[in-house]
Amino acid sequence: MDEISLLLVDDHPVVRNGLRGMFESTPGFTVLAEASNGVEAVELAADLDPDVILMDLRMPGGGGLDAITELTRRGIRSKVLVLTTWDTDTDTLPAIEAGATGYLLKDAPQDELFNAVRQAAAGRTVLSPAVASRLVSAVRSPAPSPLAARERQVLELVAKGTSNRDIARELFISEATVKTHLSHVFTKLGVTDRAAAVAKGYEQGILGRD
Amino acid sequence: MDEISLLLVDDHPVVRNGLRGMFESTPGFTVLAEASNGVEAVELAADLDPDVILMDLRMPGGGGLDAITELTRRGIRSKVLVLTTWDTDTDTLPAIEAGATGYLLKDAPQDELFNAVRQAAAGRTVLSPAVASRLVSAVRSPAPSPLAARERQVLELVAKGTSNRDIARELFISEATVKTHLSHVFTKLGVTDRAAAVAKGYEQGILGRD
DNA sequence: CCCGGGATCAGCCGATTGGGTGATGTTGGG
DNA sequence: CCCAACATCACCCAATCGGCTGATCCCGGG
């Protein structure tokens, strides 16, 4: 098999360095370039046409998700392997939907990483066991129905300690409507009170991203 | 100056590799060993007596904080430099109180890292600018007093949607006591209802770490 | 030895919440 | 063209919540 060319994308110099070191000292891989954010990554990918792009999702200035979406939109042939530090559940599915070929956690052993890159280069999907099991459980459950726009707004205000009455004022709707929205939120999140709803909101990443 | 001996502690092979590469290819540093968790770190530190320990805080099996506490307790002379991925505010102060000499974010440039290690070896405190500013603001404000043990328990149950009555049952205390605890939680977190308290709990890292 | 903070409990009371039932208008997709 | 989902609103009612005042017990530090 030919050498596999790589593009490393991560905002941490340390991590880029580590990856570069690992791949350069292993035959069969070439690191073409590094990028520290999504925008840069897209440009470099378009220029250099790497076989595989190793990408962190969480990056300041041009998130990884947007980058993947953009790469897919442009029809770039590079396979994207998401290599993230912690698995947040929230990110996995969107990333894969956006076009990522694989999803690995950074604490994977080196062999697994090398293997994953080879698999990715060959176009096969690679998932960390942890991620894989999450996926199946995500599919298994009917639909973690995300909240409707209005419902999310209400939940956000609830998280700030706003009373139904004040939420109504703030959103220019009646208190009755607020209660209706909240009821729906409760149902969708599988809880029965606002405190638990807020907790679920954070767990599921609906809340918390300032 | 003599060579500075290092112990690297991080659960991610990639990160350890990256750090090792960086320090080994720079004169003046020697990497004595690597550890992937806190317990291992303490043992190796006791054995090898490194000048500086570069340590990640969040690790499965033997958290970094405990490791630092243990090192301090044992009177080990190694300086601990906390090198963490994301700054969560919650961890900084405890880490420094526990005996860490410095606190750096992983996205710091290499120069800064090298410099920080040298400073740490010399016994000086080094803080990422971001961390430093947090510290001053933390000191500036009287005391965001963390919750008492019991109060945290109550808050956790609240986040699960448990009613005061049921919390009382679960903790074998009276409903009145639950209400008292909650009142204190509200005061300490600066909120007025349980939903907002849960939100603050997540924001401040009191909740959310399964 | 006294003080403060944590943990425990009581009773009162008004405000807020959450559930149930029902209804209307809009919109987007099949 | 109709249905599902969203967004809007009303009314009722019991349960829960949050604030207030006041009290006891224990522990560790000054």
| Residue A153, CB, strand D, below 7 Å | no
A45 in contact with B, Cβ within 8 Å: no
**Structure confidence at residue B84 (pLDDT):** 78
A18 C-beta neighbours (distance < 10 Å), count: 26
Tell me whether residues B17 and A16 touch, CB distance under 8 A: no
Does some domain include residue A45?
yes
* Neighboring chain B residues of A161 at a CB cutoff of 8 Å: 191-193, 195-197, 199
Does some domain include residue A210?
no
Does some domain include residue B51?
yes
B165: nt with nearest C1' to CA: D16
Contacts of residue A147, defined as CB under 8 A and 6 or more positions apart, other chains included, come to A155, A184, A185, A188, A189, A206
**Which residue range forms the structural domain that includes residue B62?**
4-139
Asked whether B204 and B89 are in contact (CB, 8 A), the reply is: yes
DSSP string, B167-188: HHHHHTS-HHHHHHHHHHHHHH
Kindly tell me if the per-residue pLDDT of B173 is higher than 70: yes
Amino acid letter, A87: D
Does some domain include residue A120?
yes
Amino acid letter, A51: D
What is the domain-level CATH number for residue A115?
Answer: 3.40.50.2300
Compute the distance between CA of residue A115 and CA of residue A92 in angstroms, rounded to an integer. Answer: 20
Task: Give the start-end residues of each E strand in A114-209.
Answer: 126-127
Question: For A99-155, how does the pLDDT look when each residue is reduced to its tens digit (9 = 90+)?
Answer: 777 788 777 788 878 888 887 888 777 776 565 555 544 433 333 447 888 999 999
Q: Which chain B residue's Cα is nearest to A18?
A: B18
Question: For A2-16, how does the pLDDT look when each residue is reduced to its tens digit (9 = 90+)?
Answer: 789 999 999 888 889
Does some domain include residue B208?
no
**Structure confidence at residue B145 (pLDDT):** 44
A183: nt with nearest C1' to CA: C18
Query: What is the tally of structural domains in chain B?
Result: 2
pLDDT band, residue A62 (cuts 50/70/90): low
**Structure confidence at residue A34 (pLDDT):** 94
Tokens for A120, please give them.
């990715």
Does some domain include residue B17?
yes
Range B180-195 average pLDDT: 92
* Neighboring chain A residues of B159 at a CB cutoff of 8 Å: 195-196, 198-199
Asked whether B7 and B54 are in contact (CB, 8 A), the reply is: yes
Question: For B96-148, how does the pLDDT look when each residue is reduced to its tens digit (9 = 90+)?
Answer: 666 777 778 777 778 878 888 887 888 776 776 555 555 544 433 333 447 78
**Structure confidence at residue B59 (pLDDT):** 72
Q: What pTM did the predictor assign?
A: 0.48
Q: Smallest Cβ distance to A17: which of B21, B191, B194?
A: B21
Tokens for A177, please give them.
């409507």
Residue of B43, B118, B107 whose CA lies nearest to B76: B43
More confident residue, A31 or A89: A31
Kindly tell me if the per-residue pLDDT of A87 is higher than 70: no
Q: Sort B183 into a burial class: Cβ within 10 Å, 0-12 / 13-18 / 19+.
A: exposed
**Structure confidence at residue B108 (pLDDT):** 76
pLDDT band, residue A33 (cuts 50/70/90): very high
Does some domain include residue A181?
yes
Tokens for B147, please give them.
């919750």
Q: Sort B2 into a burial class: Cβ within 10 Å, 0-12 / 13-18 / 19+.
A: exposed
Question: For A160-207, how does the pLDDT look when each residue is reduced to its tens digit (9 = 90+)?
Answer: 999 999 999 999 999 999 999 999 999 888 899 999 999 999 988 788
Tokens for A173, please give them.
């709707």
Tokens for A147, please give them.
């909240």
Residue of B92, B89, B109 whose CA lies nearest to B100: B92
Does some domain include residue A208?
no
Tell me whether residues A199 and B107 touch, CB distance under 8 A: no
A38 shares its domain with A93 = yes
What is the radius of gyration, based on Cα positions, of chain A? 21
pLDDT band, residue B163 (cuts 50/70/90): very high
Helix (H) or strand (E) holding A82: strand A79-84
Tell me whether residues A193 and B159 touch, CB distance under 8 A: no
Last residue of a domain, one of A140, A175, A192: A140
Compute the distance between CA of residue B23 and CA of residue B32 in angstroms, rounded to an integer. Answer: 11
Compute the distance between CA of residue B68 and CA of residue B152 in angstroms, rounded to an integer. Answer: 24
More confident residue, A157 or B120: A157
**Structure confidence at residue B98 (pLDDT):** 67
What is the domain-level CATH number for residue B172?
Answer: 1.10.10.10
Tell me whether residues A159 and B196 touch, CB distance under 8 A: yes
Helices A194-203 and B194-203 cross at an angle (nearest 10°) of 20
Question: For B42-97, how does the pLDDT look when each residue is reduced to its tens digit (9 = 90+)?
Answer: 889 889 999 999 988 877 655 677 787 777 767 778 888 888 776 655 666 667 66
Contacts of residue A182, defined as CB under 8 A and 6 or more positions apart, other chains included, come to A151, A154, A155, A158, A164, A194, A197
B123 shares its domain with B159 = no
